[in-house]
Structure 1
């Protein structure tokens, strides 16, 4: 597995401090983010999943803890929209240039508006997909927010 992806190249070029962590990706896992957390021995709240969604018909990227679900109502509100829905996997792959299970918010083909769960910013470090199945990057969540120009908002369902 290559530890150099578009995602890691974007982080390096921006001077963001990060470490790469690899694990055995299980394509049959019921919840990919939770499988990643278990495989790397980290709390699920620190392993963030990257989801692609639509808000009022426009693509957005959402970064939330792997053990939580996104509230569509809160997601729409974060972007000032009326409605939100998850993007179909094939559309997410086309939009990002990454494969499902390896979608990173960093280095997407076309950068779209991004939101990160506000509680993730309380962590000293988080893990976010590094642009390849089985590859995570460990970094400061505030650095992730800054490079993504992400909105920090409450996004998880109660």
Structure 2
């Protein structure tokens, strides 16, 4: 296991995750746009938000790859299937606590379940399992995170 393999896996995994989520949006399986969601935390300019969001998403992908690596190192084992399990747990955390509960509390342009009518929010809150962005959003999100984790696990398990 090497940290470089984990970072490379994090980059490739984030590419796959982001591309999969974007494709799911293009095929109308979900309305979530993770880069836009992240970018609007920094700016109200919609074009800049997407660019900033992609950057933030790739940085987050590297941070989570390092977290996966730390766990793999601590237990002394890594594999694609263990990475997939971590990805599933990561996706469940993201869909239930991170994006559904914490992000609306911290995001300056996102509504909350308590936003009143006179308040104008750029984004609607995702809701539990991000269901406000479509009924298949949880499945798409979990599948993308499962792939992300499997890629990192596979890269770190690669002999070399």
For the aligned pair, the TM-score class normalised by the smaller chain equals under 0.3
Task: Select the structure that is richer in helix.
Answer: 2
Whichever of the two has the greater Rg, that structure is 2
Q: TM-score scaled by structure 1?
A: 0.27
Task: Select the structure that is richer in strand.
Answer: 1
Tell me which of the two structures has the higher relative contact order, counting C-alpha pairs closer than 8 angstroms and 6 or more residues apart: 2
